Amino acid sequence: MPALDFADTLDVTDIPTRHLSSAPALYTSMGSSVGPDDDERTIKQKTSTTPGSSSRGVSRGKSEESQRQLTWQKVVETPRRPIATYPPRPPLPPQSLPVLRHIPYGWFAVPRLLFGPRLIFWFSLALIILLIGGGTLGMVEALKSTSAADQRPAGPALQVNPSSADIGTILSLSGVGLSPRAQIGLFRDNAIPIMDTNNASAIFADNDGAINDTVLIAQDWGGGPHTIMLEDARTHRYISTPLEVTGNIGPLRPAHFKISVAALDFMAGDQATNTLKKISLSNSGAGQISWQATTTQPWLMLSPQTGLLSSNMPPTDVMVAANRANLQPGDYTAQVVFSSTAGDIRLPVNMQVLPLEAGHQPVLQLSPAVLSFTGADGGKDPDPQVITVSNPGSLPLDWQATSDASWLKVAPQNNRVQPSMSSAAKVSVDTSSLLPGTHSAHLTFSGTGPNAALHSPQSVYVSVTITPNCGLLISPGLLNLTSTQQQGQVSKTISLGQTASCSGSVAWTAQSNTSWLNIDQKQGTTSSTPSITASVAGLNPGTYNGSITFTSGHGSQVLLVSLSVLPNNSPALSLGLSTLSFSTNAGGSSPPAQQLTLSNTGGKMLSWSATGVVLSGGNWLSLDKAHGQLNAHQSTTINVRAALLNTLTANTYTGLIRVSAVDETGHALVKSPQNIPITFVVGAACSLQVPSQPLTFYGYTGQTIATGLNNSRTGQAVTMTASTSCKSPLNWRASVTTTSGGNWLHTAPASGTLAPNKSASTQVSANLTGLKAGNYAGKLQITATDSANQNKVINIQTLDIYLNVQPPCTLQAPSLASLDFSKLAAAGSASQSIKIGVIGTCSAGNISIVPTTASSLTKSWLTVSPTNAVIKSGGSATFTVTVNSAGLATGQQYTGSVSFAALDAGIAIVGSPQSLPVTMSLGGTPKLTAGPTGLNTNVTPGKTSQPIAINNVGDAALDWTASLQAGTAPYFSLSASAGKHLAAGGTTSVALLMDTTNAAPGSYVANVLVSATNSLTGEDVGSVRIPVTITVVMPPTMAVDKTSLNFSALEGDTPADQFITISNIGGGTIIWTASAPDQPWLRLGSNTGLANASTTSKLVFKVNTSGLSASAQPYVSTVTITPSAGNPVLIAVNLTLSAPAPTPTPTTQPASTPQVQITPTAQETPTLVVSTTPAVNSSPTSIVRTPVSIPSHVQIAQKIQQPAQVVQPTTATREAVHIDSSGQPVEIIRSILHHSR
């Protein structure tokens, strides 16, 4: 039995655990790692060793001990034991396997030695330690990944670069997480629109929901803190980021309200003609102007009637219209009164009415000429309005209506109106995709019948004003914190408020994007003052940037935080306040000074300097200290004062305190200088505030007391208020004057006293006794004096008053202002009755009143009867309004209206139409379902999506939200995060977007959380969790080893075949197809093949030179290889054909074998040598020729490179031809060669 030898010691293998990956790796004694993704060849290469490798492995493990945690096993020396000797076994029986007879018996001892009990024990122990360590680290990595994911705020994000800049700087905006391809509005400071560098106030997101844009900081922005905001027109949610504007911008220009025209003249037109003129409103100053407009006569209309004007923005167009439908022939005057925060402007208007002279034809008449809608950003659509289409002609009128905007609808779009009758067109607007601001469009009405209609076509101008959404206000928006390492933590308090457009408190949540930055309140409601804390423990000296995202139901806003950590022995300047704010009233005194604390929280002395910088308004900011020194842990205070200059009007002025600090060596400290924003609010002076809108009274001949717009017969109240800035009560006195008609204007009471912030009123009335039909005007003047000083006049307010004594008929308002069926609708059907009357002088005697219902629903739930009523002036008609809730979804509020049109001989009378709002609320319970219930699919790297269906299977509308569970991989996102008013039985969907372009192969899980609330009550409906698992697999990718082939041959010869190798460097299998060559001399061995991760294909290229001649330029052909996945590859093939050597010419000259050799001289001058060798069986005289020298300027055209050979005698003629420097051939020598064959 042969003896077996084994080593006394075993090699040591390091088995460390990696901290940066959850996949374990085996480190061999050579130091190479084997991971789970290595193939067999890589593993063999990594685990192969050389002599001495064990010691290097141990050394390597020691050197890296501080960087990774090792599990180790102790190696002990195995004592030698003698090999046991056993007696020979008996021979195997003949039927045993023959091969076993030839195996030495000692070989059976190998397993026993290799797998002895001691070695098995140590191997098992090492394996257990490896499994436990790998599992523990895997859990740690998973927790770290989850924690990191939890710190990442979900949803849209906006980055503004730089975050602090001067006037004139171009800002770079980068937004992500928006709705793909949605319109994105650009705003600053909540609702002020801004233009980008392409003069656009709205842009579109790309397919990934991202935007990149640039914005210029304009002069009118003013200095100090600002916010940049993006609003998604699809979701109506905003994202906002703070910005600080620095630099001295000089005095702030006051806002200036400007109108493009000084007067309007509508010229002459008949009673069926409406005239429209456009004017433009703009703000030629700074800031923002809020304006509203009214008219002094009912025939004068405008749209829109209110809005905002921002500086450096395009003007706002306002359409002013003269509606002649209810007027008698004659001349008319009126005014448009614009009231604004920058002053009031009155625009005079003239217009003439001519009698309608229609022939035997239909006539198109529209009323009103303009419409104005107002909606809230992201809110429900405004209620529809009605346009009355009348036909004062003698033939039937067929009409149709078209809209030039997708958000503007009209129904019906066509109809027929009989002579002296009218029909109603319901106009509605869809505000779901409109951003804050004013939007306008046109409705065009045209006659379509066989008879041409007079005044066809006509347009109605429609505007819709979208008011800004509710939002959060964070002050300050930027925090700069400084601390030393030993300080532990540093805190600052911020304030959270809400914009003026919010109807109540706003709930918010906060999330930090980094571990060292915390907020003491993770959620709350406005107003609140959370504390921001930066934990310095564990941070090395340096600058750290973080942010906290505050999210509400309307959007999100970011607080940017910069933390400077200094060494313990370094000085550190800390400012006690983040912002300062002063306020006072014009005409009052300067506000008291405020203190700013400067503290040295470091370990060494510092020197500081402070400067007050005024960004607007003049030199109103001052400091009592400008510089000083602070020892370690010492503090000082600066008194900051804001002076009320005589030049300061009511406005908000900004500035900042710039504090710089240097250490003992004169080097500037980190974060030096620091800026403290200053706000100085100068309120209005003490004044008596009176509404600026004029008062208008209506009446008819013979009436005693005129009525107002609300049909009040007791007059109209004018309310006056003493501003809060007044220090003592005000005495007021009212007086009236008229320009014509005598003393028809009265007011009572005529005097009184008002305390600050209190209100009083005086009743203004008009007596029509003795007045003829026509227009009258007057004024109400209210004078306020200080009760503490009767000689001091605070201000004088003047109010315009207009009286219209009308001779034609007037349709009065319904007896009820509105109808509410909410308590009656449960019975299924309910009715209410109203009365409506006509007063005045009516030409036809009988007045036709036609009611029309309007609702946003296509289902008819609102009816009115009778459908027509005829009354005389002074009479009234009773109409019954009925609602039917059958078939309507519960849990919703339904709104509609009844419009009453009154016609006098086919022409609408004064006050027509009158609108009666109708509302009805139905209860119910929504129920949420969502699907699919789960999803598990394979994807290749790239972008894909999965629709998530959201269903309401209840009987009431619901509002839903969708989100991804915290910790979801960043490859997932949702196309929408919320929706409102999903009707009962309704279905919508949200797309789960998956972008695995940069994802490593493997499985990823996303949990989609869908929750819902009752749209009407806000009660929680429930939620659904949908798990989605995707497995990322690599796509097949074709690769070729070369993209060009080069063939060369002599003319008439065929070169050898060549090939390229096609492989698949991705996953799966690729099927490739080769195109036919574009040249006939090239052929392919095959035109298709396949390749996977372990196999390759070869494509053979064959060249046939038949019919081709030698050429100095190569022949070129191409072949395109197209894979089943991926991009095609173009293979270029070049063929170079050379001319063969000249063919020898047979001759009968001397039988000798000349050998020709061309040898260059030492000066590279070719030398021709000719020698002959005697042929076999012959003895001719040897001929030796002396080498001939070739001039250096001659180039050898052909070189004979073969060595001299002895061949059988034959005869041939050979020439050596040379080319001189001019390129001309020169015959140098001709020889007769005799060879033996």
pLDDT at position 110 over 80: no
Question: What is the mean pLDDT of the segment spanning 1162-1189?
Answer: 41
User: Tens of pLDDT along 1108-1158?
Assistant: 888 888 999 999 999 988 889 999 999 998 888 776 666 555 555 455 444
- The DSSP annotation for 662-704 comes to E-TTSPBPTT-SEEEEEEEEEEPPS-EE---SPEEEEEETT-S
pLDDT tens track for 544-584? 999 999 999 899 999 999 888 888 888 888 888 878 899 98
| Res 1047: pLDDT | 92
- The CATH number of the domain covering residues in 358-468: 2.60.40.10
CATH class held by domain 928-1028: mainly beta
Dig out the tokens for 207 from the structure: 């397919």
Quick one: pLDDT at residue 8? 38
- pLDDT for res 1072: 92
CATH architecture of 1038-1138: Sandwich (2.60)
Which tens digit of pLDDT belongs to each residue from 1028-1078?
A: 998 887 788 888 999 999 999 988 888 999 999 999 887 778 899 999 999
> Which DSSP category does 52 fall into?
T
Phi (first) and psi of residue 1113, to 5 degrees: -100, 140
| Range list for CATH 2.60.40.10 in the chain | 252-357, 358-468, 688-806, 810-917, 928-1028, 1038-1138
Superfamily of domain 810-917: Immunoglobulins (2.60.40.10)
- How many whole angstroms separate alpha carbon 183 and alpha carbon 81? 85
Let me know if domain 252-357 sits in CATH 2.60.40.10. Answer: yes
**Lowest mean pLDDT across 275-284, 508-517, 1093-1102, 1169-1178:** 1169-1178
Q: Which residues pair with 796 in a beta bridge?
A: 783
Residues near 60 by beta carbon (within 8 Å), at least 6 away in sequence: 14, 31
In this prediction, residues 1179-1204 reach a mean pLDDT of: 40
Closest CA to 785 of 774, 777, 794, 776: 794
Sign of the Cα torsion 1149, 1152, 1158, 1159 reads negative
User: Is residue 427's pLDDT more than 90?
Assistant: yes
d(CA 465, CA 376): 8
Q: How confident is the model at residue 1181 (pLDDT cuts 50, 70, 90)?
A: very low
- Residue 1178, phi then psi, degrees to nearest 5: -150, 155
Share of the chain above pLDDT 70, in %: 79
Evaluate whether 665 touches 605 at the Cβ level (below 8 Å): no
Cα separation, 415 vs 408, in Å, equals: 19
Q: Has residue 1179 got a pLDDT over 80?
A: no
Residue 145 pLDDT greater than 80, yes or no: no
Lowest average pLDDT, out of 104-113, 840-849, 861-870, 909-918, goes to 104-113
| Residue 958 DSSP code | E
Contact 83, 107 (CB under 8 A): no
Here the tokens at position 636 are 């000082």
Rounded Cα distance, 1089 and 714, in Å: 98
DSSP string, 61-76: HHHTTTTSEEE-----
pLDDT of the residue at 140:
52
> Which of 201-205, 333-337, 338-342 comes out lowest in average pLDDT?
338-342
Q: Which pLDDT score is estimated for 138? A: 61
Q: What is the pLDDT of residue 109?
A: 52
| Rounded average pLDDT over 401-406 | 94
Return the amino acid letter for 746.
H
Q: What percent of the chain has pLDDT over 90?
A: 33
pLDDT at position 57, please?
A: 38
For domain 157-241, the CATH class is: mainly beta
Contact predicate 458/541, CB 8 Å = no
pLDDT band at 311 (very low <50, low <70, confident <90, very high): confident
Q: What is the pLDDT of residues 675-689, one digit of tens each?
A: 888 889 888 788 888
Mean of pLDDT values over 518-539: 90
Distance of CA 495 to the CA centre of its chain: 27
183-232 pLDDT tens trace: 999 999 878 899 999 999 999 999 999 999 999 988 778 777 889 999 99
Q: Which fold has domain 688-806?
A: Immunoglobulin-like (2.60.40)
Cα R_g (the chain), whole angstroms: 48
pLDDT, position 961:
94
CB 532 within 8 A of CB 490: no
Give CA–CA dist 410/391, Å, rounded: 19
Instruction: Give the pLDDT of residue 450.
Output: 87
Average the pLDDT over each of 134-138, 184-188, 662-666 and give the range with the smallest value.
134-138
Residue 653 pLDDT grade (very low, low, confident, very high; cuts 50, 70, 90): confident
Residue 847 has pLDDT above 70, yes or no: yes
Question: Is 70 exceeded by the pLDDT of residue 35?
Answer: no
Average pLDDT of the chain? Answer: 79
Confidence of residue 1201 (pLDDT cuts 50, 70, 90): very low
CA nearest neighbour of 1092 among 1075, 1073, 1072: 1072
**Contact, 57 vs 28, CB < 8 A?**
yes
**Do 279 and 263 contact (CB within 8 A), yes or no?**
no
Cis preceding-peptide flag for 527 (omega within 30 of 0): yes
Residue intervals of the chain classified under CATH 2.60.40.230 are 157-241
- Residue 1160: pLDDT over 60: no
Which residues, 6+ apart, have CB-to-CB distance to 82 below 8 Å? none
Q: What is the mean pLDDT of residues 909-933?
A: 86
